[in-house]
Chains A and B, each alone.
Chain A
């Protein structure tokens, strides 16, 4: 028995060596035979695990074969390569098959000769030759009608490789390095959608072999349009957005079925976030999308991606602006002085801008604008306060919010200031504080223990109404500009002073606060150069981002994109004035500012 095993082992090793040598060393025609043998061996090895559909062999045809009549059928659609006949299974009928495939996709071979149907499944892609000495980077390509794609083929043997041109596929560029071939193939504009085989002819010392290395799926360019979409979404929780639209072929006829995934993207080039999916029914879709709370405020492109047997993602233009309510975290410590520190943010995103502190003291109320830098604001006031209301008036993306903090009486030991959250903590921490106090005294520092005020149920005042913005169309002005004030049926206050008339002259530069009917507006009065930049930021950009991406675009690129959307030539005037104001050392005068205001007015920015 051992002798038999040993003989078998010797035989197998010998066979392996002979095969290896014939594959590696045999020159000229011998190498070609080696290729052929290897391929047969390779195919045979795989065939055991693969199901054959029909045909006379399990090896894809190579050379010198013909068709012969048959009445056999195969449960898959087939494709046939006319110049080098080969039948292979494909997902949908290839259009260059010279046999009739009508309603049924069963295999019907009507030509005389021997036919071959290689394998129903051959790896992932049906009917692709898997040759170890000839590999392609992607065995299935997708391209639209009229598109271009590239393939890269690596080879472990030396020879020439030629793409077998077909009616619709043509090589427009090719290059080669030792062991590597690159082809750029163009799909003709009149190509009927379907699957097309990519055949290559390998020539090794005169021995020619054809190999089907890849399939290209030619897709019609589906025209996806979003017909209904909200322009603005507001809120902090998950937001619901209803999107409706149509999917059609380029000739306008509807695509009957498929699915549509809706993504929101900062720019079209981004992958985006999938917010909803729905079915296409007779060319229309209605998708209810959920936008998670983690999506920050901003302008987003809404893109409907059609997926189905036939098309490419749609190129939808509409944009939606998501507005969020920011959060205010505030800490107020008060004694002879009051220190207000806080954070203005949405989730992890710090905001910039200005908050208005409405500070109530025993003597009345004062309003103090405070700059927010990278989400942080802080101010120290030389007075004792009863309550502090922090108002954020909002901008194009973040809505107005407010928060009020009522102060408890505080304990005060004048030396070193240590902030603790409540009295209980003070008692429990007294030993540590005493020790720290001693250290403080030794270091010559004043010691003060302050209990930070908390909002407790009994202290909570009735929830104040949301502060919303006054219906002031423009919020940026230049010095001495007279503004028309809206008639809201209640008293107007400008910087805390009542305004009797409906007109007011804005005399000094800086931030002005206009109040009426529990509404508030920030009015910026600035030098024309600054005013142009602020006008662009506060009014133009939020408007523009409804239509086009703005973040990585220059002012002139934004203007061009808007112009292509049908906006008037004012967009270029706005870009010119803004670029001069921001990027040049030149001054900008009032006339330029008002010219920009007029342009914005004509574009409908202030509506």
Chain B
């Protein structure tokens, strides 16, 4: 497989997902980008915009196993990871695996669970493994989390701590349908499906093995030149040094931007990264890792503003370093 073939397969995947998820191909492309590098995605948006549908459609089309966990205030870590139960007849403890043992985990309304439960995901999201009662178990590849949270409601929610946010490769916003035609298309599609959940009718476009090969292509066959590496580093540093920032994007943020850029290049059929790939994902990969000083956050300044300013202030490399 090469990047051209990856691009063709990706187009089929996007086409298939967009047959049930109407309106925003950009979100589908970005979610696929994250999936190609095992990146976790946080959807921050209002209820009813199809986030769950998108996650389910993806897992179906990619031929992957999928589980959904509704986060609630009384959810415990063991409810996600699993636990060991005593089997009287066997005279031994048996591991009952939790829903995390899957390929795609949808953590719905993740900010409704207390931090202790949210933290249960940390190890899985970063190291792709879980530890249950001292026993560490590797998760099957691929593994990534698609989480959702509602940005409006505050009552009874626990904002994700910075360490948790940092584990998300991208934070995306689905957004409301842009046009009246999109709204109508959603309604007409529902009439055509004759059911609420159309994902059961989706057929896998690829199987798990093919998806893993696509991930290998992104990892091994996409070249990142020194000027682009330097551009990413300068961009992240500029965001970090913004005087409105309390805590800037971490090196993990820079790595996330690098990975997303590589995947985007591959999705566009290129085996090298260009600054456009970086720019496209800068806000999605960095903004949620930025903590704004209180006085600026009251003025409505957000991580997005900081990243946009950094993009504005960072020159795009147009010559080799040796020519400097």
Contacts and interface: CB of A to CB of B under 8 A. Distances in A.
A352 B324 CA distance: 7
Interface string B264-291: 0000001111111001000000000000
B57 interface: no
Interface stretch (A301-309, A426-434, A496-504, A580-588): A580-588
Contacts of B279: 554
A582 B223 contact: no
Nearest to A585: B223
Contacts of A530: 320
A554 B316 contact: yes
B227 A583 contact: yes
Interface stretch (A39-47, A75-83, A404-412, A533-541): A533-541
A583 B274 CA distance: 6
Given A583-B228, A585-B272, A552 B314 contact: yes
Contact of A374 (B227, B314, B318, B324): B324
B297 interface: no
A584 B271 contact: yes
B176 to A, nearest CB: 12
| Residues of B contacting A: mostly | loop
B272 A583 contact: yes
Given A374-B324, A533-B319, A583-B227, A552 B312 contact: yes
Interface string B158-200: 0000000000000000000000000000000000000000000
Contact of A537 (B228, B273, B314, B318): B318
A267 interface: yes
Interface string A523-538: 0000000100110110
Given A352-B324, A556-B274, A582 B315 contact: no
A553 B225 contact: no
Interface string A547-578: 00011111111000000000000000000001
B311 interface: yes
A228 interface: no
A593 to B, nearest CB: 16
Interface in B188-241: 223, 225, 227-228
Interface in B106-160: 152
B312 A584 contact: no
Contacts of B228: 583
Contacts of A227: none
A533 B223 contact: no
B70 interface: no
Interface string B237-274: 00000000000000000000000000000000011111
B305 interface: no
Nearest to A549: B312
Contacts of A533: 318-320, 323
B225 A551 contact: no
A452 to B, nearest CB: 29
B313 interface: yes
A175 B152 CA distance: 9
7 contacts: A150-B300, A552-B312, A553-B316, A583-B227, A583-B274, A583-B275, A584-B272
The 3 A-B residue pairs with the shortest CB-CB distance in the complex, in nearest-first order: A584-B272, A554-B275, A583-B225
